[in-house]
Chains A and B, each alone.
Chain A
Amino acid sequence: MRRARVGLLVAALVAAVLSSAAAQPKPVSEDTVHEVAARLRCVVCQNLSVADSPSEMAGQMRAIIRERLAAGESPDEVQRYFVQRYGEWILLSPPRRGFNLLVWLLPLVFVIAGLVVVAVLVRQWTRRPRGAAEPVAVDAAMSERIRREVERGS
């Protein structure tokens, strides 16, 4: 009987020591919390990140991020936890995979296409023979403009 009681006491002591050790949070930089939170969408707001949102839920989510980072998870693992619970929607930036590549690439394609169109047009327009240029009447407005440009010195 006595041995059992001692054993229980020891077990209790060990548990106390272990739990207090686990309760000691590993120092987590607020910057890392902020960085992870900035990737996630606040679920009760519209379009704000968890880092930015002043809502209570966002505060709780930041606390969870802090906790998980302190427990040793990497930022990516913490992010994956949230995606598992909420789906892809919770990421503020769509992951660059599959269909989502469209939103990442199409703007680039648009810019390139635009530049190509401009390049082609400029080429076309500078190739025209000089004689075909419309004669420009030099009227009062035009001479004023010329004077202005001369004044400006360009």
Chain B
Amino acid sequence: MKRLWRWLIPLAALPVLVLLAYGFRMSPRDIPSPLLQKPAPAFGLTALDGAPLALASHRGKVVVLNFWASWCYPGCYEEAPVLEKNWRAYRERGVVVLGVAIQDKREAIEKFVKDFGLTFPNAQDVTGTVSVDYGVYGVPETFFLDRQGRIRVKHVSAVTDTVFRDTVERLLAETETR
């Protein structure tokens, strides 16, 4: 029996190897947000057209809050048309899409909005306070808020048609509780 103890040495390597193999299932950049189910932080910015852009004024609607930057390629470039299309489709149904550009230059932001023909409200977060308030790691990141103003879904990377529709439909279907 004593002879068998020596085989512990090679066996000792196994747990480490298993742990490393497990690492393949996880993405190191996938960090869960602690803000889920919590009330979305309020903010008051100025939209590109000069109008005030405050979260509070959209209470009662389903809010799709999208953080982006003009240099974020290809993610933001892929999702911009998706957001615009769905904004137009859903705006009558009590859904609002808000865009917040971070770590960017004004001209580049305005050019981006013009190039993609975005009509939903976009503002620049100059100091980054709003992005930090939402725990934003990078771009693009999109937060889906329900009618009570709680963050329900955080989507990292470009928003697709399916993601947008499924999430928004689900949130719209929830009965209002005043």
Contact = CB atoms under 8 A, between A and B. Distances in A.
The answer to whether A and B touch directly, with their CB atoms under 8 angstroms apart, is: yes
Interface of A: 43-44, 56-57, 60-61, 63-64, 82-87, 89
Interface residues of B, number: 18
Contact of B129 (A64, A84, A87): A64
Contact of A86 (B34, B103, B127): B34
A60 B138 CA distance: 13
A93 B69 CA distance: 30
A91 to B, nearest CB: 13
Interface in B115-131: 127-129, 131
Given A61-B128, A63-B127, A56 B103 contact: yes
Interface string B103-122: 10000000000000000000
B135 A85 contact: yes
A44 B137 contact: yes
B173 interface: no
A106 to B, nearest CB: 13
Nearest to B103: A56
Nearest to B126: A60
Contacts of B127: 60, 63-64
A89 B103 contact: no
17 contacts: A43-B137, A44-B138, A57-B102, A60-B128, A60-B129, A64-B128, A64-B129, A82-B132, A83-B34, A84-B34, A85-B34, A85-B134, A86-B31, A86-B34, A86-B135, A86-B137, A87-B34
Interface in B23-39: 31-35
Interface of B: 31-35, 102-103, 127-129, 131-138
Chain A residues touching B, majority SS: helix
Contacts of A44: 137-138
A86 B141 CA distance: 14
Contacts of A64: 127-129, 132
Contacts of A83: 34
Contacts of A85: 34-35, 132-135
Given A60-B128, A87-B32, A87-B135, 11 more contacts: A43-B136, A57-B128, A57-B131, A60-B103, A63-B128, A64-B127, A64-B132, A82-B132, A85-B134, A85-B135, A86-B34
Contacts of A60: 103, 127-129, 131-132
Contacts of B128: 56-57, 60-61, 63-64
Contacts of A86: 31, 34, 135, 137
